[in-house]
Each structure stands twice: as C-alpha cells, then as structure tokens.
Structure 1
Amino acid sequence: MNLTLPLDDPASLHAGDSVLLSGTVYTARDAAHARFAESISAGEELPFDVDGATIYFVGPTPARPGHVIGSAGPTTASRCDAYSPMLVERGLRAMIGKGRRNAEVKESMLAHGCVYFGAIEGTAALLSQCITSAEVVAYEDLGAEAVRRLTIADFPALVVNDLHGGDLYDDGPARYRR
C-alpha cells in the first residue's frame, strides 16, 4: 500500500500492513527527544511543527560524495518511550523505528491517533536510497542525532501499532501458532 506523509487517515491502517511511505519525516533520537522535553517544559516552541508530523528514529551516517545521506537504518524506538507521549499528545501522527513500544506509548497513540511503523533492521544502506533530500533543522551540535527533515520515496515499512489496538509483535506470532 502506498501512503503519502503526512497521513490523512491512519485509522485505515492495521497491524501487519506492508506500506511504502513517501513524503516528509523528521529524524530524532534520544538526545533530540531530551531537548524536545526541555523545550516543552520551558514553554518554548519545538524546532518543527509536530502536529501531523512523522518522526523516524534514526541517526544517519555522513553522506558520501554524491549521496543525499549515509546509511539510515532504524534505531530501537523504546529508547524514546519516555518522551514519545508528550509528542503524540501534541499531534504527532506517526513514528518509524524498530522494536516494541511500551504500554504508555501505545495508550497515548490510541488516545491521540498516532501509528507506529517498523522499518526493517539491517537494511540501512538500502533504506538510505529511499531518501531523496536531507536537511538539518535543529540541534546541529548533536551530529548524527541532529534533527533532520527528510523527504522519502517508497520507504518500506510495516504497521506495528495501529489505532485499533493491534500490535504486530503480539498478533503476528499468534497467527502462526497451532
């Protein structure tokens, strides 16, 4: 299924759906999320409009000459679980990463209309080929963990957590039990 970001109808997605994502995503790992929390606590603006946005948990390597970005594989999303609900409550529509999310994150996603996509681990060089532009928009001092605005095209992912309570990590294995 081809999807354009920002998502118009995340409720149409179900855990296990295979998708190709195209559009704008923002990169952020744990160091950037800690700064988001500081900004929110201080009543300051975030470096991009979170409402409707998609965050990709990634710390890309530097681009080789002639390339937009270096390897860009997913980071374990649970590293940002302490921070994700505050962004979801502010309108974050989707997240991309690898691994399970905790109960608090999943409850926040259900309550506020956010889905979680899993990107395939071990495919960082291939995933980078789906990134057509990359620009640092905040926290340049964090190096690989700086916040970047990426344009992606046909980025492969799976719906892990949907708006119906589905969780691919639970539901997927259950389908094959005898």
Structure 2
Amino acid sequence: MKKILTTPIKAEDLADIRVGDVIYLNGTLVTCRDVCHRRLIELKREIPYDLRGKAIFHAGPIVRKNGEKWEMVSIGPTTSMRMESFEKEFIEQTGVRLIVGKGGMGPNTVAGCKEFKALHVIFPAGCAVVAATQVEEIEEVHWTELGMPESLWVCRVKEFGPLIVSIDTHGNNLIDENKKVFAPALRTDRGRDLSARPLHQVNRQEG
C-alpha cells in the first residue's frame, strides 16, 4: 500500500515515517529555490503564500501559458544542498512540512527537521517530464519578476512521487547513514587510500 501524505500535513502525520521510506504527496506543492530562501532569511521579505503544513520543491520548472492558465511542461529537482545554510530557519519561519529536492542535505536541515517536525525527501533525477504529469493544476504564481525558474509556482499534485525520505523528524539522515556503510569499501583500491577523495573520482581510471 502506498504511503500518501496530503496537505495540510500535521506533525503527527510524520511521526512514524523513517529514512528510506517511500512516500507520495497529494495537495499543494510550491516550487522554492535559492532566491526565495534568501529573500526570506537574509532580506526578511515575507513569502506571499502561506506554507504552513505544505510542501516545497527545490525545482526550477518549465511552464507554458495555455489560454488564461499556466501548465507544467517539465519540473525536475534542483540540488538541495544549495539551500542547506537557510533550511533550518526556513522551516521554522514558514512551518513547511515537506521539502522535496535532489540529493541529500546536511546537519542544519537535520536539526530543523527534528526540531520543527519536517521531512526532506528525494525525487528521482531524470524524471522531470513524468513529474509534470503529476501536476494537476498550477493554481497561483508569485514573484514572477524573478523569472520562470525562481518564481513561486503553487501546484496541486496527485500522488507526486516516488519520494525517498532522506531526513526524518527523529534526526536521521539517510545519506550520512549510507556514507558510513560504503566508506570502508572506498578506503582502499589497489592499495591506495581513497577515503578523502570525492566520490566522482573513485572510479576514475588512472594510468
């Protein structure tokens, strides 16, 4: 049976969810990237949409006008770590419950999710067109002066996912746990110490 969260999401809805779980979303999903986070945290500008109990998506979508309405063409995740320095304060100030993005996030977000009861979840990369089909309607758009990728697109979604829980409300971080599991296997390769090397270099052939 699919685990489906429906906005507005309450703290108790998240209590039994753990890292590694796969969930889906019904309801409101708002695109929210770097500039939105900076405007709220650094510039103290109020976000023109109530995010309490809602979900945000670290994404810069492609949309098109169809008559009087906007429709989603493609919506793929942005690397969530770009928002790491802002995320704890963002969660506290907005009351957002679900953060959707690409890749993991760090200790600042873990602390925010634990203290203020939110989840970070990973949407699979490379599925931007599929994601667009799960957007039933674009209900509102705000901050259009920022351009298409940075505008706040308020979407109504149906079974949006799959979403892999990477940070839960108990302070667990799936990416950090995986690093602990796989790090020993990466420490040596033909006698060479690889523990301090970036992962993208580990499999590189060297002459």
Please classify the TM superposition score into its range, dividing by the shorter chain length.
0.7 to 0.9
Q: Give 4+ residue runs of structure 1 displaced > 6 Å after superposition.
A: none
1:104–1:161 CA distance, 2 compared to 1 (3 A): same
Instruction: Report SS of the residue matched to 1:108.
Output: helix
Question: Per the alignment, in what secondary structure is the counterpart of residue 121 of structure 1?
Answer: coil
| Larger radius of gyration between Structure 1 and Structure 2 | 2
Q: 2:159 aligns with which of 154, 159, 166?
A: 154
Answer yes or no: is the 8 Å Cα contact 2:87–2:108 preserved in 1.
no
Unaligned 5+ residue runs, structure 2? 186-207
Task: Give the C-alpha shift of residue 12 in structure 1.
Answer: 1.8
1:96 maps to what in 2?
100
| Contact persistence 2:110–2:173 (CA under 8 A) | no
| Aligned match of 1:51 | 52
TM-score (norm 1): 0.87
Tell me the C-alpha RMSD between the 2 structures.
2.3
Deviations 1:85-111 (A, max 9, x none): 222112221100011212112112111
Query: Which residue type is aligned with residue 161 of structure 1?
Result: I
Unaligned runs of at least 5 residues, structure 1: none
* Alpha-carbon distance between aligned partners in 2 of 1:86 and 1:152, rounded to the nearest angstrom: 26
TM-score (norm 2): 0.76
% identity of equivalent residues = 29
User: What SS class does the counterpart of residue 62 from structure 2 fall into?
Assistant: coil
Maintained 8 Å contact 1:50/1:87: no
> For 1:60-79, what aligned pairs fall within 5 Å after superposition?
60-63=61-64, 68-79=71-82
Higher relative contact order (CA 8 A, sep 6+): 1
Greater displacement, 80-89 / 144-153: 80-89
Aligned pair count reads: 174
